[in-house]
Amino acid sequence: MTIKNITIASRESPLAMWQAEYIKSKIKQLYPDIKINIKGFKTQGDILLNQSLATIGGKGLFIKELEQALLAKKADLAVHSMKDLPMDIPDDFKLIAITKRGDPRDAFISNNFDSFDDMPKGTIIGTSSLRRQSQIKATYPYLSIEPLRGNLQTRLKKLDEDKYGAIILAAAGLIRLGLENRIKKYLETEISIPAVGQGALGIEVLAGNEELNKMLLELNDDDTSRCVLAERVVSRSLAGSCTAPLGAYASISNNDFIIKGFVASPDGAQIIYAETKGDKSDFYKLGETLSQILIDKGARDILSSL
């Protein structure tokens, strides 16, 4: 092995740094003699906090600086939350591994309420996710949704300052930072279909570094990869981005593969659900099938009106 040093590019938020440390530990288990450094970068998505992602360029703003670091050889790999990785990856880069998924669910966090059902009309829920907003509004149209951005600690602080009656966050991030005690209720995937890739981490590298790519491939979890790649097929087929309220979630039991998804208008007035199942070896095809079912039910009509 000729590789002696590896540098990991990461966003600077506490959660992103935890994720980079986690990948570092996994590489160390496989290759204990390699020296591994983590280099933090501030991305545009972390800087522009007073605007919604939908209006300033989407989730790609969280990875541009990391990809530039790879191109400039300032880092060898970048660690991403899969839900933040755009559907189309430029040819210069390669998604080499998707690690075993953490908890995929959304989490309800509140200091005053146990669930949505306890909340009186007009109570403010904090989320900048159109996916979450549309699903909440579909069932609880009388609740108010207001934007909430910033790192995980910033969002919790705003809740504690009583700016919101509740906030919705990804359970995986809270669990990873030891903050699961803040979770009042886990929103099961039947109630709140997660974002594509939620709970999974991806490792991105330059396309040509074959030795490094072969090493990192060992971190790939096959079943998680099947699920996340199928979910990404759905999002790509439906032009999924921060401006489109949609979600998809796949799971595997033995060899049985189930994938479900939805498309909605931001206010939840129009919402379409679909599900399909088959053998896990057909994961990609099942993602395409689910996309077509949603399209046949009118998904394109909803999305084209946004």
Which residues carry out catalysis? 84
Cβ(81)–Cβ(98) below 8 Å: no
Cβ(189)–Cβ(106) below 8 Å: no
Longest dimension (CA), the chain: 63
- Look at residues 106, 124, 228, 110 and name the one whose alpha carbon lies nearest to residue 174: 106
- Token output for 237: 């087929």
Q: What is the DSSP letter of 101?
A: P
Cα–Cα distances in angstroms (integers) from residue 203 to residues 66, 67, 141, 250, in the given order: 11, 11, 39, 20
Residue type, 193: I
E-strand stretches of the chain: 5-11, 35-41, 77-81, 93-98, 106-109, 124-126, 144-146, 166-170, 185-187, 201-206, 246-253, 256-264, 271-279
Q: What is the DSSP letter of 280?
A: G
